[in-house]
Amino acid sequence: MKYIKNMNTKIGMITIIEEENQIIAIEINKKREEECIKKDTLLLKETEKQLMEYLEGKRREFNVPLNPKGTKFMKAVWTALQDIPYGEVRTYKQIAEKVGNPKAARAVGMANHRNPIPIMIPCHRVIGSNGKLVGYALGMEKKRYLLEWEKKNNV
């Protein structure tokens, strides 16, 4: 059974999806088509609390159980992303090297694009080798906002 919770935030409507006591997705400004039950489970409430604390500049790390659905490679990339400290960035190449495939920078980009749990799995912290912001499934405006927000609050 999947449960969802919607929350209004300064970056838009966030929908949190839980399945089997794990967060499987966070969607921003998306309409959920599949059947889910709206319910305030303990996990959804805690996830909402942690996301709000992050967006208020009061939280830098998350500690709810995550279970993103993807290939073995994607999961390795998403695990590596969670090691990028708050307020810092890494390049696609650095993430590719970290997952043991230094020539897979483009594949890292695709894994980032398919990240089902943005913010908590911080794909916004990955930039191009030239230091420029490139690609973000939620749009460059949100990527820029999140990076600037973290930099401002990383004191």
Active site residues: 123
> DSSP class of residue 125?
G
**DSSP characters for 77-94?**
HHHHHTTSPTT--EEHHH
Q: Find residue 3's DSSP bridge partners.
A: 18, 37
70 with 116: CB under 8 angstroms? Answer: yes
Question: End-to-end CA distance of the chain, in Å?
Answer: 41
Distance, in Å, from the CA atom of 22 to the CA atom of 4, rounded to the nearest integer, reads 12
